[in-house]
Structure 1
Amino acid sequence: MPAVNRTPDDRAGEQYRAMAEFRFSYNVLGIRSLTEFTDTCRRAESLGYDTVFAADHLGSPSPFPVLVAAAQATERLRVGTLVLNTGFWNPALLARDIATTDLLTGGRLEVGLGSGHMKWEFEQAGLPWQSFGERAERLRSTIDELAQHFSGEGFEQQRERNAELDLPVLRPVQRTGFAGSGPPLLVGGTGDRVLRIAAETADIIGVAGVRQLPGHPPGTFRLCTAEEADERVAFTRDAAGSRADQVEWQVLVQAVVPTDDRRATAAELLPRFGDTMTLDQILDTPFLLIGTPEQMADQIRRNRSRYGFTHCTVHGSFMEPFAAVLPHLIPN
């Protein structure tokens, strides 16, 4: 990437690269009120969280207004999408929302993109449901089109008007992702096609840790085992080549379960997984955290050593329980 002059907002946008050991984040699936939401964001910031993510599902809040509100309520908390369903978005309109949000958050935005997996959401939105290969191709083409929009000189039809009114070209503040033209890019998933796209394009590779159950409706998942995580990470690292050690590796933890007896609690959880996991697999998977805060912190360190995961994300309902783990991992 060619050298550019950095503004303060540009430098703020590169904070995610400066974390020496770990980053911690939580994912928002719902909000009750502006006051409650912004209070939660401020509390998360005070507890040591680095990023708040917004999901992109029908029935959940629209992600970009949520992120602007979160940034306005906090001083350093980064904001992001985990992940946008590219099947919902026109790339030109999405580029406008990303650039606007990056500007209004002072360069704190991280753009997470995925291929979409809930068939019913497409049906309810009146959008065509495509094969996984077609959805993966749309993800890749969206990434390419966003990079073109971010690096361009705006629309030719507006240049005369912009010059007359002294209007700037709408661009993101950050120039770290999208081939050096936009905010950091996170691509998340579990399948070969999406992880290959992540390996080739992303600044942050998100390993979701769930897989489609064969013979069930799209979006019916099972949790991946530790051995499957080994294979998924190895596959992605191989696809990334020399980039593998230059990107951030993120794990999405599906549940945080505080307990003084890991094995007994895991045994109680076993019926939830049907016949898809054994007791030992529940205890070993990197996509569940079970135990005391110290035990969970040890598990996160082991996951870093085994898989390279340095960015740990929990769902919003686990933000408070997981906060007890952070003092064991964040340097004083």
Structure 2
Amino acid sequence: MKFAVALSMERFSPDTPMSDVTSTMLELVKMADQGGFETLWTAEHHTIECTISPNPFTILTWLGQHTERIRLGTATLVAPYWSPIRLAGEAALCDHLTGGRLEFGIARGAYQYEFDRMAGGMPQQEGVAYMKELVPAVQKLWAGDYAHDGHYWKFPLATSVPKPLQAPHPRIWVAARDPGTFDWAVGIGASILSTPLAAPAAEIAVLGEKFRKAVADHPEMPRPRFMMQRRTCCYERPEEAELAVRHSIDYGRSFENLFQNIGTVTNGFPTAVSYESVAGRDNYKPENVLKNLMFGTPDQVIEKLLDYEAAGVDQFSLGLSFNLPVELQRKTLDLFAREVLPVFAARERDRRHEEERRLAAAPSRMAAAGR
């Protein structure tokens, strides 16, 4: 299992200068790059200060100039906000400007608040139909001349300019939680981005089973990759958990505002809705936040991560953007790099060596059986 970091530029007060926001993100991404994390993910959002990213390709291009190894991913682009030609070209150019490090992640979209402003008020759930038309069209534009006559978009013969640097194109990732999206994504050769949100650990296995079924139902496709993301905070002393739990609960109440479209947003800053308004209220209990999310000391985090490994997760993504104090974000990255990543790198080496021994022994067993 590899590790990634999900970060957004975030402001929770108009008193915070944008220069502080950008410098903080750059510092954390450099830490992730130097610490051995595989991918940096950042999302597309509009009109809200807690996730500032009107075009994630711009952010990834900027970060690509200040990093060396880390992959740079969109988690996620919002399908209904794009046209196929524009998306194909923007992504391909970003791939060139980052030296072929782009990971292309896309979704139907999350916040109804945004859909009311960016997609004419269409229900957020309808975004999946846009995604299912958009992604194959982008793939064909990356390949060469292509004319499209679809339900949402129509255009005469055109192609992506430029073509991607990676051949045949950057890896495509689709955000999925329901079985139909898992099945569609695996069927087109895409990898999976998923999250148990704030649900109990049992949800990890549920998502893992959806992934396994989709892979089994598409034997014609190579096995894709499987990423899961959780809000994450790692600390040295258990008493440090209280601060992370409080920030997670407060951030969740702002998320409910945007997701359910039940609160107010003033000059880009969402108001946290009342505790009584949230969905899945048990998940907001402090003891459940601590248990369900990736909060803990390095030993506790490693124990929790075994559930993800067992579910077939190839990449675990640390969700750090929930107004967590910067010093705790730094500490989380540092502790993961020093105490968590090496444990799973060693487990991977051990499994690889065991597989090599098993394959080396197979001819001997076959020869013995023949005698």
Change (3 A) 1:202 1:25: farther
Equivalent residues in 2 for 1:252-263 (5 A)?
252-256=229-233, 258=235, 260-261=237-238
Which of the numbers 276, 298, 314 marks the counterpart of 2:318?
Answer: 314
Residue in 1 that maps onto 2:214: 239
Distance in 2, Cα, partners of 1:239 & 1:274? 31
Runs of at least 5 residues in structure 1 that lack an aligned partner in the other structure: 1-20, 160-167, 176-180, 211-222
Residue in 2 that maps onto 1:326: 337
Q: Is the 8 A contact 1:28 1:315 kept in 2?
A: no
Q: Which has the higher contact order (CA 8 A, sep 6+)?
A: 2
Q: With structure 2 as the length reference, what TM-score do the two structures score?
A: 0.66
Q: Is the 8 A contact 1:115 1:194 kept in 2?
A: no
Which of the numbers 10, 21, 28 marks the counterpart of 1:30?
Answer: 10
Change (3 A) 1:65 1:51: same
Residue in 2 that maps onto 1:137: 129
Q: Is the 8 A contact 1:154 1:169 kept in 2?
A: no
Q: Is the 8 A contact 1:199 1:244 kept in 2?
A: yes
Runs of at least 5 residues in structure 2 that lack an aligned partner in the other structure: 12-17, 148-155, 250-279, 347-371
Change (3 A) 1:35 1:207: closer
Distance in 2, Cα, partners of 1:293 & 1:243? 40
Residue in 2 that maps onto 1:3: none
Residue in 2 that maps onto 1:274: 281
Q: Is the 8 A contact 1:102 1:174 kept in 2?
A: yes
Distance in 2, Cα, partners of 1:157 & 1:90? 15
Q: With structure 1 as the length reference, what TM-score do the two structures score?
A: 0.73
Tell me the number of residue pairs that the alignment of Structure 1 and Structure 2 aligns. 283
Matched to 2:30, the amino acid is R
Residue in 2 that maps onto 1:197: 184
Identical residues among aligned pairs (%): 21
Distance in 1, Cα, partners of 2:119 & 2:222? 41
Residues 35-62 of structure 1, C-alpha deviation per residue, up to 9 Å, x if partnerless?
5543433222122222222211113122
Distance in 2, Cα, partners of 1:158 & 1:135? 24
Q: Is the 8 A contact 1:225 1:277 kept in 2?
A: no
- 1:109: Cα distance to partner? 0.1
- 1:152: Cα distance to partner? 1.0
Distance in 1, Cα, partners of 2:39 & 2:212? 24
Q: Does 1:72 align with 2:77?
A: no
Q: Is the 8 A contact 1:283 1:290 kept in 2?
A: yes
- 1:207: Cα distance to partner? 1.4
Change (3 A) 1:36 1:243: farther
Which of the numbers 50, 55, 64 marks the counterpart of 2:38?
Answer: 50
- Deviation larger for 76-85 or 292-301: 292-301
- 1:77: Cα distance to partner? 1.7
Distance in 2, Cα, partners of 1:22 & 1:125? 34
Distance in 1, Cα, partners of 2:70 & 2:207? 30
Distance in 2, Cα, partners of 1:169 & 1:277? 47
Distance in 2, Cα, partners of 1:174 & 1:308? 26
